[in-house]
Structure 1
Amino acid sequence: MNVLKRCIYGISIVSLASMNIQCKSDKKVEETVTEAKATDVVTIEKSAYGTTPKGEKIDSYKLKNQKGMEVDIITYGGIISSLKVPNKAGKSEEVVLGFNSLEQYMKPNPYFGALIGRYGNRIAKGKFTLDGKEYALAINNDPNALHGGPEGFHRVVWTAEEAKSGDNASLKLKYVSKDMEEGYPGNLTVFVTYTLNNDNSLDVVYEATTDKKTVVNLTQHSYFNLSSDFSKPILDHEITIDADKLVPVAATLIPTGKLTDVTNTPFDFRKAKKVGAQIEAKDEQLKNGLGYDHCWVLNNQDKGERFAASAYDAGSGRLLEVYTDQPGIQFYSGNFLDGTLPMRNGGTYTRRTGFCLETQHYPDSPNQKDFPTTVLNPGENYKTKTSFKFSVK
């Protein structure tokens, strides 16, 4: 693949708006893109996305296949800033919540499209112990630590490397988290590889190594609305989760330590059920989460990568299937979206207009001896994979 320098003189171009660049008659702007070969099944196009206040240049990569699927990823936070897939009429439309500018992503927001680390989900009171030593984390979800802390992986700049192989294309992101960053021990080297395939699936592979014993739990935090109408709540989406058990939580959304059966509860999604069918039921767990904001214990954990969950929107015909090798999945129904964040084309994101399916280990695992371990030792390789597959029916 060749790199092409495109010079734009004295004109306003819509694509530049998303990069926070203004054209003036006495200046020229250089936009770097990747020139795709005509034979490429899946292409990658690189462009400038903006600059942080620290002077860090942020790039955007568009991965596009021949089946109408496009994924835009920015190097700030490893964020999926756009994801377009066809509906049952063949029209490709946006299906993830997001913003138009780097500036907006840098403002406080609920992790739209971001990579999450070092530890996805909550750690009780921001503390855990390894080999008798207690580590204290930043409290950013009072009284707990959430999603790696206020300056977690969602707010760092990743380096990027493109790769192509047959009918797919990949973007491999890298970040080195220094010892005691956000309170976590060990210099942690992290790679996250996004791969778009020509069957309208997006693979996400997470890898990490450390030079000191630490804890790791990485995930991806995209908010989906398969209708592509972000003014509509996702209550009519039909959700399936292949899980017989739930990780119940206390009022602070920290696990009680027990795993409970989902049978005859609003948390039974083993057969497809609309999000809104029981979300307002009188249930202590729903009260604690203000709706669904819980981790399910996925079945068949000994089988590696397998079907975990799905979401279906009848109006558009879009079906999302999630496959993973992780033990759990956090289903979040967008309960805290409050109408303060701008949509791309006007309006604001209101309550329950997006949902998340975050594959991961259980919340607070470092403090729960009976949960699968999240400890990573020197010499070990952390590696996990999740696939998001889109189709219509």
Structure 2
Amino acid sequence: MRVSVLGHGAVTQGWWYKGRALILGYDDPLHYLDDPFYRGAIVGRVANRIGGAGFTLDGAHHALEPNDGPNTLHGGPEGLSRQPWQIERVSPREAVLAHVSPDGAGGFPGTVRFELRIRLDCPRLTYSISAWPGRPTPISIAQHNYYTLGSARGISEHRLQLASDRHLELDGQGIARGGIVDSASAGLDFSSPRRIGQAATDLDHFFLFRTGGRLDQPVATLAAPSGLTMTVRSDQPGAQVYSAAHLSAPFAPHAGVCIEPSGHPNAPNVATFPSIVCTPDKPYHQTLVLEISETGA
């Protein structure tokens, strides 16, 4: 197993198991400079969508930079995925990257120091993400790999299982406003293994984990027809699952699937969602563990 990491956007450029590519990636690192799909990047300061490109914190309104119609997606046009990260340390099994986001970056308050540790212990790949803010500010990070598990034919036949039977309701702009939907009633029940192509619609939904906040139980498994299976463990309350319907050349739609654990999207604007505000006394930490196993095809 091996991994290739870039300083730009803290991108995971490639991840291979026995020579088989487990994620989508560009061969030329320069292609990531204008990649609109966040391929392999660390996204934030706040992953997913913030409705109306703004929020109010402690009585002060913070206007963000919109990049998804009137909304802010993945931290805005100059979010973490567009920033240079310093590669601080590299060893055969670990890379440590860091980035300091200044006060007001993208409209977000407070200076924040981010650190990403990528640890390789075959068959596991672990992302440990930390952030230390100088003042209260919302932080919710997601790792944005497009998983293929060695398949060149897309992911419609991959079988997905989630530790979830509910997902967030979205409005017409893809913004979570507080509603929760029973996944079975929407034709999106993956509580038992199911082919991704069997979903009632293209997946681009935030699923709430029954095991949110714990690392001792899987939150997702993804099994490819080739015999490779990926088990996902996360300490986050849920994940955006995206079946990549809008990918374009050089990759085809549905060429990979994203499983992006994070805090609730649009949480700064929805009082019923768990808070994603971090402070100097309550910094941010997230752990994502990906483990590969293999059976006969």
One fold, TM greater than 0.5? yes
Question: Does 1:123 pair with 2:55?
Answer: no
Alpha carbons 2:233, 2:289 under 8 Å: kept? yes
- Look up the match of 1:216: 139
- Report which stretch shifted further, 179-188 or 305-314: 305-314
Would you say the 8 A contact 1:236–1:313 is kept in 2?
yes
Cα distance in 2 for partners of 1:184, 1:305 equals 33
- The answer as to 2:245 corresponding to 1:318 is no
**2: CA distance, partners of 1:171 / 1:197:** 12
Asked if 1:169 is matched to 2:93, the reply is: yes
Instruction: Tell me, yes or no, if the aligned pair for 1:238 and 1:273 is still in contact at 8 Å.
Output: yes
1:79 matches 2:11:
yes
Which aligned pairs between 1:174-323 and structure 2 lie closer than 5 A? 174-198=98-122, 200-229=123-152, 232-278=153-199, 281=200, 286=201, 291-301=202-212, 303-304=214-215, 306-314=217-225, 316-323=226-233
**CA separation in 1, counterparts of 2:27 and 2:90?**
26
Q: Which whole-Å CA distance do the structure 2 matches of 1:151 and 1:228 have between them?
A: 32
TM (normalized to structure 2)? 0.95
Cα deviation, residue 306, structure 1: 3.0
Instruction: Give the TM-score of the pair, scaled to structure 1.
Output: 0.73
- Closer, same or farther: CA 227–163 of 1 in aligned 2, 3 Å: closer
- Structure 1 runs of 4+ aligned residues shifted over 6 Å read none
Q: What is the rounded CA distance, in whole Å, between the counterparts of 1:146 and 1:370 in structure 2?
A: 21
Q: For residue 240 of structure 1, report the CA deviation from its aligned partner.
A: 0.5
**In 1, distance between residues paired with 2:216 and 2:62?**
32
Where does structure 1 lack aligned partners over 5 or more consecutive residues? Answer: 1-68, 87-91, 340-347
Q: How does 1:125-164 map to 2 (within 5 A)?
A: 125-162=52-89
Q: Is the 8 A contact 2:213 2:236 kept in 1?
A: no
- Structure possessing the higher radius of gyration over alpha carbons: 1
Match of 1:356 among 222, 245, 258: 258
Q: Choose the corresponding residue for 1:335, options 201, 221, 245.
A: 245
Stretches of structure 2 lacking an aligned partner (at least 5 in a row): none
Deviation at 1:302, TM superposition (A): 5.3
**Cα distance in structure 1, aligned partners of 2:96 and 2:21:** 23
Q: How does 1:88-127 map to 2 (within 5 A)?
A: 92-127=19-54
The alpha-carbon deviation at position 379 of structure 1 amounts to 2.3
How big is the shift at 1:304?
A: 4.9
Contact 1:305–1:326 (Cα < 8 Å) also in 2 = no
Deviation at 1:163, TM superposition (A): 5.8
Structure 1 residue 305, shift from structure 2 partner: 5.0
**Structure 2 residue matching 1:71: 3-state secondary structure:** strand
Say whether the 8 Å CA contact 1:242–1:270 is kept in structure 2: yes
Q: Which amino acid aligns with 1:204?
A: Y
CA contact (8 A) 1:329 1:359 kept: yes
Q: Distance in 2 between matches of 1:381 and 1:110?
A: 28
Change (3 A) 1:305 1:376: farther
Give, as a single letter, the amino acid of the residue that structure 2 aligns with 1:236.
E
Q: Distance in 1 between matches of 2:6 and 2:76?
A: 20
1:381 to 269, 283, 291: 283
Q: Deviations over 1:297-316 (max 9, x none)?
A: 001235455311111112x2
For 1:365, the aligned partner's letter is A
What residue is the counterpart of 1:392 in the other structure?
A: 294
Asked if 1 retains the 8 angstrom alpha-carbon contact of 2:177 and 2:270, the reply is no
Contact 1:235 1:276 in 2 (8 A): yes
Shift of 1:248: 1.5
TM-superposed deviation, 1:225: 1.1
The letter of the residue matching 1:145 is T
Q: CA deviation at 1:264?
A: 4.0
Does the 8 Å CA contact 2:115/2:130 hold for their aligned counterparts? Answer: yes
Kept in 2: contact 1:143–1:252 (CA 8 A): no
Q: C-alpha displacement at 1:125, in angstroms?
A: 1.1
The 3 A distance-change label for structure 1 pair 174 and 243 is same
Task: Determine if contact 1:305/1:325 at 8 Å carries over to the other structure.
Answer: no
